[in-house]
């Protein structure tokens, strides 16, 4: 049975993200492994420092894993750390870079194995976008290939700030029967180990399928 999954709309690791503490407790208070891959060209060390301080605020230890380039993702020692983790968190940045680094890599296979073995996996903004398939292309709101941890599903992060034009384009181009989770910042769509979905955090989660808004409880993945 796969572990819990948190898809966060961005502005991670700050006030309002109460779901992080809940997930940490539910997972048995494990060390949180933070992958700043998506922020490889945006001071990834700052992302790790922010995560470390945030989790320390409620008694959790977070450590960064420098999977920043494709050769990093093929290192067996780094993949082994991911495979052994019980809580893996992918932060924000570039979803396209994140996908190119992790796609079909040793680290990605380790993450999938850990999740399928019951580990908690969280992704925020780019991290949430890339975990799904299809993936919303941040350059214009169309769709491209994602990593596909869960499918058919797509995430629109930072939804309260998503432009009307990009929203219209995304809904028009959405593949048939794909659930689109439009998630506000500091907000999570959470799937538990039994496949049930709920929303948590400071904002809202909107679900669209075939041009219609649906309840989060109706989201299905293969």
Dihedral angle over CA of 21, 153, 202, 28, nearest 10: -10
Question: What is the chain's pLDDT, residue by residue, as a tens digit (222 residues)?
Answer: 799 999 999 999 999 999 999 999 999 999 999 999 999 999 999 999 999 999 999 999 999 999 999 999 999 999 999 999 999 999 999 999 999 999 999 999 999 999 999 999 999 999 999 999 999 988 877 899 999 999 999 999 999 888 888 788 888 889 999 999 999 999 999 999 999 999 999 999 999 999 899 999 989 886
Backbone angles phi, psi at 32, to 5 degrees: -95, 125
Q: Which domain holds residue 123?
A: 5-216
User: Do the domain assignments include residue 189?
Assistant: yes
Mapping DSSP onto H, E and C, the string for 148-162 reads CCECCEEEECCHHHC
Does 222 reside within a domain? no
Tell me what pLDDT residue 222 has: 66
Q: Which two tokens stand for residue 150?
A: 């869960």
Number of separate domains in the chain: 1
Specify the CATH number for the domain of residue 96. 3.40.50.880
Q: Could you count the other beta carbons within 10 Å of the beta carbon of residue 210?
A: 13
- Domain assignment of residue 221, yes or no: no
Q: Is 123 helix (H, G, I), strand (E, B) or coil?
A: strand
Which pLDDT score is estimated for 172?
A: 86
Residue 70 within any structural domain of the chain: yes
Residue 153 lies in a domain: yes
Contacts of 58 (CB under 8 A, 6+ apart): 20, 21, 24
In 3D space, the residue among 112, 49, 51, 106 whose CA is nearest the CA of residue 80 turns out to be 106
CA dihedral 157, 206, 62, 96 (to 10 degrees): -30
Predicted TM-score of the model (pTM): 0.96
């Amino acid at each position: 049975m796969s572990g819990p999954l948190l898809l966060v709309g961005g502005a991670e690791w700050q006030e309002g993200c109460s779901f992080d503490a809940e997930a940490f407790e539910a997972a048995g208070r494990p060390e949180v492994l933070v992958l700043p891959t998506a922020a490889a060209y945006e001071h990834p060390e700052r992302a790790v420092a922010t995560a470390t301080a945030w989790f320390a605020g409620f008694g959790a230890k977070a450590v960064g894993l420098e999977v920043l380039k494709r050769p990093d993702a093929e290192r067996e020692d780094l993949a082994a750390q991911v495979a052994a983790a019980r809580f893996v968190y992918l932060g924000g940045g570039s979803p396209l870079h994140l996908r190119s680094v992790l796609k079909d890599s040793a680290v990605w296979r380790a993450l999938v194995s850990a999740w399928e073995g019951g580990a908690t996996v969280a992704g925020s903004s780019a991290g949430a976008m890339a975990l799904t398939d299809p993936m919303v292309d941040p350059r214009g709101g169309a769709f491209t290939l994602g990593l596909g941890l869960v499918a058919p599903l797509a995430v629109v992060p930072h939804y309260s700030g998503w432009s009307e034009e990009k929203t219209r384009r995304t809904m028009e181009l959405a593949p048939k029967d794909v659930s689109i989770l439009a998630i506000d910042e500091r907000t999570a769509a959470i799937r538990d180990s039994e496949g049930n979905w709920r929303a948590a955090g400071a904002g809202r989660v909107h679900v669209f399928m075939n041009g219609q808004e649906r309840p989060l409880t109706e989201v299905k993945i293969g």
